[in-house]
């Protein structure tokens, strides 16, 4: 780190001492982008970094709703509008009891760089609530979503801020949110992405993050003389990203032997049967444990962290932040894992990431590797603006091209600025940062 990045990071630590996830993301980013400032002294003169680390706006609000027993409930809603230098704010809405400002600031910060890497005109934001959709009836979820949008609608718009799904926010929630936005504003516009196909959604959006992750990992391993075909794969999580990462990596010739949820993991030496997982998770909204009861020869293990002890060539953490710690990373390295692709946002702790890099494990950081979701969301915005609907293959082809482009940008920046040409963490952070920095400089001190 140089003096400038160090000073800004120390300032952040002093002012946000209790926001551990945000400081974790900021530390990684500052560490990576430090070499840029030696080449660009004008950034420091213009206080660019001080502005870059600070969200443009944060909205926090009360979300009252009534449960099925007729009892009033209150949750907290958030929208972090981080940076709009290169386009309208764009980023998902997370619905999970753990949601707080630190988590949403870390996600928003990462989103700024991720969206820049896609090459598309989208700024960065993130939002959500500590509401837990798990175990709620459809009516309760609808009541919550309508109340949430009754405040959020005044802060968003097709050219202002375009939220999307994330953990806990799937097609059902996006539908309820969209209906309420339309009802209040009277506007039929592309204000949310991840919409259903009957009202403006894009084909391939559901698959995009998982598929995009596999396209990135394929580029990365092949650039380093390895291949996916014949590899044994572990995928954590069993939500949207995990399911479609499994689907695509299997089509590429990999064999997925383990998946998980927040209670535990399943192991199936014959290769996970994805249709069974889809039935349990997408249709029944059940627990991954049920897989072992339905598929003879498979096993269920209590506790989700044990999944990293399963021997594999490639690991794809696709569940949540900090799910892969140093102990998990050590187990993967000891078992000969040669590549890690982050489907989730910041699933590896700083210690785990450093351990992979030190041991020569090819490491695809989430902000680059999982950018296929937001890139396809931006394609959904384009289709909405043009009143057009592209085919699945058209969208998938564009996604493939975007992921290859992201990999090339990361590799080029790592080579130019880093001391390790395969350090794609440095590459992603620098490539993402430079475009936003140039746009901010051009727009003056705002």
Chain residues binding ligand NDP by CB under 6 A are: 165-168, 209, 236-242, 260-263, 304, 318-320, 323, 343-345, 370, 373
Residue nearest to ligand NDP (CB): 239
Concerning whether 136 is annotated as a catalytic residue, the answer is no
Integer Cα distance of 379 and 55 in angstroms: 25
- Work out how close the CB of 213 gets to ligand NDP at its nearest, in angstroms, rounded to a whole number: 9
Integer Cα distance of 405 and 402 in angstroms: 5
Integer Cα distance of 41 and 271 in angstroms: 53
Q: Which two tokens stand for residue 177?
A: 């949110």
Between 21 and 261, CB nearer to ligand NDP: 261
Between 168 and 365, CB nearer to ligand NDP: 168
Q: Helices (DSSP H) in 16-75: which residue ranges?
A: 20-39, 41-45, 48-52
CB 61 within 8 A of CB 28: no
Block residue for tokens 């609608």:
153
Integer Cα distance of 376 and 202 in angstroms: 8
CB count within 10 Å of CB 196 equals: 12
Residue 97 per-residue DSSP state? T
- Work out how close the CB of 41 gets to ligand NDP at its nearest, in angstroms, rounded to a whole number: 35
User: CA torsion angle for 361, 367, 370, 372 (degrees, to 10)?
Assistant: -130
Between 29 and 34, CB nearer to ligand NDP: 29
Instruction: Give me the phi and psi of 317, to 5 degrees please.
Output: -70, 115
Q: Which two tokens stand for residue 260?
A: 């998980």
Instruction: Give me the phi and psi of 11, to 5 degrees please.
Output: -60, -40
- Work out how close the CB of 261 gets to ligand NDP at its nearest, in angstroms, rounded to a whole number: 3
Please report how many Cα atoms fall inside a 13 Å half-sphere around the Cα of residue 302, on the Cβ side. Answer: 0
> Nearest 5°: CA angle at 21, between 432 and 57?
65
Choice among 126, 136, 255, 367 that is catalytic: 126
| 440 SS3 class | helix
Integer Cα distance of 312 and 352 in angstroms: 17
- Work out how close the CB of 292 gets to ligand NDP at its nearest, in angstroms, rounded to a whole number: 15
Between 64 and 97, CB nearer to ligand NDP: 97
Between 37 and 308, CB nearer to ligand NDP: 308
Q: DSSP assignment of 80-119, as one string?
A: EEEE-SSSSEEEEEEE-TT--HHHHHHHHHHHHHHHHHTT
- Work out how close the CB of 258 gets to ligand NDP at its nearest, in angstroms, rounded to a whole number: 11
Q: Which residue in 382, 341, 339 sits closest to 216, CA to CA? A: 341
> Nearest 5°: CA angle at 156, between 380 and 397?
15
Between 5 and 383, CB nearer to ligand NDP: 383
Between 201 and 237, CB nearer to ligand NDP: 237
Q: Which two tokens stand for residue 355?
A: 């351990």
- Work out how close the CB of 211 gets to ligand NDP at its nearest, in angstroms, rounded to a whole number: 11
- Work out how close the CB of 110 gets to ligand NDP at its nearest, in angstroms, rounded to a whole number: 9
| Active site residues per annotation | 126
């Amino acid at each position: 780190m140089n003096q400038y990045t160090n000073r800004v990071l120390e300032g952040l630590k002093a002012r946000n001492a209790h926001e551990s996830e945000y400081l974790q993301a900021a530390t990684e980013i500052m560490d990576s982008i430090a070499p840029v400032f030696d080449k660009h002294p004008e950034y420091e003169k213009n206080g660019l970094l001080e502005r870059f680390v600070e969200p443009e706006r944060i909205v926090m609000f009360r979300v009252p709703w009534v449960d099925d027993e007729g009892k009033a409930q209150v949750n907290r809603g958030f929208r972090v509008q981080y940076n709009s230098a290169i386009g309208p704010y764009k980023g998902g809405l997370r619905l999970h009891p753990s949601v707080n400002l630190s988590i949403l600031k870390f996600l928003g910060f990462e989103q700024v760089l991720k969206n820049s890497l896609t090459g598309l005109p989208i700024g960065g934001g993130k939002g959500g609530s500590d509401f837990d959709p798990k175990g709620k009836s459809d009516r309760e979820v609808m009541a919550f979503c309508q109340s949430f949008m009754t405040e959020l609608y005044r802060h968003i718009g097709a050219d202002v801020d375009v939220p999307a799904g994330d953990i806990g926010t799937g097609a059902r929630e996006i539908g309820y949110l969209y209906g309420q936005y339309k009802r209040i504003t009277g506007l039929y516009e592309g204000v949310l992405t991840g919409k259903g196909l009957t009202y403006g959604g894009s084909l391939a959006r559901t698959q995009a993050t998982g598929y995009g992750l596999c396209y990135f990992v394929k580029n990365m391993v092949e650039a380093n003389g390895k291949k996916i075909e014949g590899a044994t794969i572990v995928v954590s999580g069993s939500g949207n990203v995990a399911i479609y990462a499994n689907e695509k990596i299997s089509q590429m010739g990999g064999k997925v032997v383990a998946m998980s949820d927040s209670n535990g993991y399943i192991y199936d030496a014959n290769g996970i049967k994805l249709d069974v997982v889809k039935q349990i998770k997408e249709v029944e909204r059940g627990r991954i444990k049920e897989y072992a009861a339905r598929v003879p020869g498979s096993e269920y293990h209590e506790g989700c962290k044990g999944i990293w002890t399963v021997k594999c060539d490639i690991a794809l953490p696709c569940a949540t932040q900090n799910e892969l710690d140093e102990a998990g990373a050590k187990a993967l390295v000891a078992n000969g894992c040669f590549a890690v692709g982050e489907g989730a946002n910041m699933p590896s702790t700083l210690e785990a990431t450093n351990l992979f890099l030190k041991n020569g494990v090819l490491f695809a950081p989430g902000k680059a590797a999982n950018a296929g979701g937001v890139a396809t969301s931006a394609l959904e915005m384009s289709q909405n603006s043009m009143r057009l609907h592209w085919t699945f293959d058209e969208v998938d082809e564009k996604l493939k091209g975007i992921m290859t482009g992201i990999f090339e940008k990361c590799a080029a920046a790592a080579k130019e600025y880093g001391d390790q040409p395969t350090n794609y963490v440095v590459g992603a952070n620098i490539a993402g940062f430079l475009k936003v920095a140039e746009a901010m400089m051009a727009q003056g001190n705002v």
